[in-house]
Amino acid sequence: MTRSTEIVAGTGPAVLFPGQGSFDGAALRLAHAAHPQVAAVFDRIDTVAVELFSRPLTPLLFGASDIELPKLLADEPWVSQLAIYGSSLAAYRILADHGLRASVLAGHSLGEITALVAAGAFSVEDGARIVARRIMVIAEREDSGGAMAALSTNPDRAGHLVSLIGDPMLSIATENHDTQTVLSGSIGALASVRAITAQLRISYLQLETSYAFHNPALADVAPRYAQFVATLDQRPLTTPVFSPILGRFYEPTEPLAERLAEHLTAPVRFSAAVRELRADGHHTFVEAGGRAVLTSLVSRVAGGDEVTALATLAIAKRDGALQLAGTLAALQAAGLATTDGLSSVRLHLVPDAPADLFEEFWQAHREELAELAANRLKDFLDAGAGARPAARTAPTAPTAPTAPTAPTAHTVAEPRPEAGAVAPQAARPKAPAPGVPGREELLATVRGIYAEALEYPEEVFTADALLEAELGVDSVKQIELLARASRHYGLPTRASDFRLADYGTLDTIVTLISDELGQLTPADETPPAPEPSAAAPVSPLRAKEPAPAHPGREELLATVRGIYAEALEYPEEVFTADALLEAELGVDSVKQIELLARASRHYGLPTRASDFRLADYGTLDTIVTLISDELRQLTPAGEAA
């Protein structure tokens, strides 16, 4: 069995849509920040949420506080269901807008509705109505309570347990793989199951769900559910959809009302579905949704077979990155997705526009649009908004280098020249300075550094690929990668007001590194570094001025709290010493960097090393400790070498 980002040759990717429990709030927020499709999908779901429940979903999912599945389940039942549906559909839209053309779609439980919407059977809004009505008809039952539990045993043994207990509310809900079967039933029936499995040494895990889905007891509400679905506008499928519940493909124009009603009572035979798709020649499975649950199940079902299972809205345990980026990179490297520049333009301007219609529009009006953009940019620059950054100053010694001057807040990146055009002379030097590697060598080296760190194929790092928007590399990771490349070339630490946003492609990063290398003083002109005193530990910081009297901890906390509150326009009282800046107060990593730099400047602290880890300082308490320690380490001027 192969579980890597290398695509195994086959008939094309099968896209899987997860069901209950498949919500990852942190991953969804990362995707929301990098991909406009997420907001576009949830905007459409919000219209249904307001229509049916008088409140939108978006503020809850993307507000100041992070939210995970337990909080959703504590809310009204529809909240978790629409969040799962929207997450999966948004992930699929991102994949599709990057050129993925699935050969088959399949859903697990609730995910089968999402698969049908992705295949064009219903609109996004009607899909949300179907999901909402599904939970509403169950909630209307007198004995609507219930739960679901996963057992570490095969379906046959689980079936014997169900027969032994003899409760009409207890049934097999899903067959995930040979050593995991999910039961659905009343709280009392599942308590009996738990007692018996404990004696048999079968592991028992209660799932995070609102109700007992896929249960024969729901047969009484199925007709009402079917009647509702039949009132909606159904369209022919544009992509094949395989049903793990029905055990077959849907017909393109098959009436879906009765089929969806059957979902309420019938079990999900996911393992059988994966085996059938494998038998049909599918080797690559992409999960569109949260937590990578199906990604893991596919690998378990495949056993020793060679398959590739790729996740999207899940966080990698290795580095905390969004797995969607690596999946897109792998699909692009295999020729199953694209990095089309026109697609990026569409996503930033009109993300809801179909790709084929936007391409037709672009071809008809591209000259007019290019002329309009050029004129507006010229007006913008003429108004003084495009002032170039000041020239950088070369450092005088490697022990205390002068950081290069960062671009100003109003800097406008040079527009890329059309193919065949000559780039403006100010954009980059005609030739590297003596001793500086050539541009192609720099690009190859930086590409290798980034690819190795992210475990992406090198070929996805084209010079103009947008690191965040196209490759999913968030700002914190970009800081780390740029620091790694800078250390490779021995470059000094940059100023604290350095604007990462100005360097969003390898092309701009290579220009930055080339410029900085050209400005470094040749080694034979560099005065020798002073030896550190043997009597005292070497500090990673150097003082430019004599150290001020060291303030007490309470004074430091009060000052830093005031700086953060003023900058964010928050009440000071929310900044308790142990409040998590991102998870509880919604201060993202980029803003945290800016705020820490502001507090450091207040105390006259020098720039920190390029490998400084912001993640270690997520509360005011840790920040105050950092500043206090750094103030103590400043060397008094009278003792400087």
CATH number at residue 178: 3.30.70.250
Query: What are the tokens at 252?
Result: 């393109």
- Best CA proximity match to 454, nearest among 338, 328, 347, 287: 328
Confidence of residue 249 (pLDDT cuts 50, 70, 90): very high
- 422, part of any domain: no
Cβ atoms within 10 Å of 581's Cβ, excluding its own? 24
Strands 147-151 and 204-206: antiparallel
Tell me which residue range forms the domain holding 244.
14-140+220-346
Quick one: pLDDT at residue 492? 82
Quick one: pLDDT at residue 450? 87
Q: With a cut of 80, say whether residue 345 has pLDDT above it.
A: no
Distance between CA atoms of residues 623 and 452, nearest Å: 31
Burial of 615 (0-12, 13-18, 19+ CB in 10 A): exposed
How many domains does one find in the chain?
A: 4
- 353, part of any domain: no
Quick one: pLDDT at residue 487? 84
Q: With a cut of 60, say whether residue 156 has pLDDT above it.
A: yes
Confidence of residue 415 (pLDDT cuts 50, 70, 90): very low
Quick one: pLDDT at residue 207? 82
- 148, part of any domain: yes
Q: With a cut of 80, say whether residue 528 has pLDDT above it.
A: no
Are residues 133 and 147 both part of a single domain? no
Q: Is the pTM of this model over 0.95?
A: no
Q: What is the mean pLDDT of residues 324-336?
A: 88
Confidence of residue 381 (pLDDT cuts 50, 70, 90): confident
- 239, part of any domain: yes
In sequence order, the 6+-apart residues with CB closer than 8 A to the CB of 114 are: 17, 85, 88, 89, 92, 107, 127, 288, 289
- Of the segments 187-191, 196-200, 227-231, 627-631, which one has the largest average pLDDT value? 227-231
Quick one: pLDDT at residue 276? 94
Q: With a cut of 70, say whether residue 479 has pLDDT above it.
A: yes
- Best CA proximity match to 547, nearest among 638, 608, 641: 638
Domain end residue (candidates: 312, 346, 380): 346
- 153, part of any domain: yes
Q: With a cut of 90, say whether residue 521 has pLDDT above it.
A: no
Are residues 181 and 303 both part of a single domain? no
Are residues 213 and 248 both part of a single domain? no
Are residues 232 and 315 both part of a single domain? yes
Question: What is the secondary structure of 319-356 as a DSSP string?
Answer: T--BHHHHHHHHHHHTTSS---HHHHHHHHH-TTS-HH
CATH number, position 255: 3.40.366.10
Q: What is the mean pLDDT of residues 150-171?
A: 91
Distance between CA atoms of residues 582 and 564, nearest Å: 13
**Tens of pLDDT along 29-50?**
999 999 999 999 999 999 999 9
Q: What is the mean pLDDT of residues 514-529?
A: 62
- pLDDT > 70 in the chain, percent: 78
Are residues 229 and 322 both part of a single domain? yes
Task: Give the residue, 360 or 539, on which the prediction is more confident.
Answer: 360
Strands 13-17 and 104-107: parallel
Confidence of residue 347 (pLDDT cuts 50, 70, 90): low
- 544, part of any domain: no
Q: What is the mean pLDDT of residues 349-374?
A: 74
Are residues 66 and 181 both part of a single domain? no
Quick one: pLDDT at residue 564? 87
Task: Give the residue, 386 or 560, on which the prediction is more confident.
Answer: 560
Are residues 48 and 191 both part of a single domain? no
Question: What is the secondary structure of 267-328 as a DSSP string?
Answer: PB-HHHHHHHHHHTT--EEEE-SBTTHHHHHHHHHHTTS--EEE-SBSB-TTT--BHHHHHH
Q: With a cut of 60, say whether residue 559 has pLDDT above it.
A: yes
Quick one: pLDDT at residue 540? 35
Q: Is 320 left (phi over 0), alpha (psi -120 to 50) or beta?
A: left
Confidence of residue 435 (pLDDT cuts 50, 70, 90): low
Are residues 192 and 331 both part of a single domain? no
**Lowest-pLDDT choice from 251-260, 401-410, 485-494, 540-549:** 401-410
Confidence of residue 565 (pLDDT cuts 50, 70, 90): confident
For residue 562, the one-letter residue type is G
Are residues 203 and 232 both part of a single domain? no
**Tens of pLDDT along 580-600?**
887 767 777 767 887 888 888
Are residues 244 and 337 both part of a single domain? yes
Average pLDDT, the chain: 79
Distance between CA atoms of residues 293 and 109, nearest Å: 13
**Tens of pLDDT along 211-231?**
888 998 899 999 999 999 999
Contact 122, 62 (CB under 8 A): no
- Of the segments 96-100, 263-267, 433-437, 467-471, which one has the largest average pLDDT value? 263-267
Are residues 231 and 331 both part of a single domain? yes
Are residues 112 and 87 both part of a single domain? yes
Quick one: pLDDT at residue 593? 81
Q: With a cut of 50, say whether residue 263 has pLDDT above it.
A: yes
- 351, part of any domain: no
**Lowest-pLDDT choice from 190-194, 356-360, 450-454:** 356-360
- pLDDT > 90 in the chain, percent: 36
Query: What are the tokens at 192?
Result: 């009996």
DSSP 473: -
Burial of 424 (0-12, 13-18, 19+ CB in 10 A): exposed
- 164, part of any domain: yes
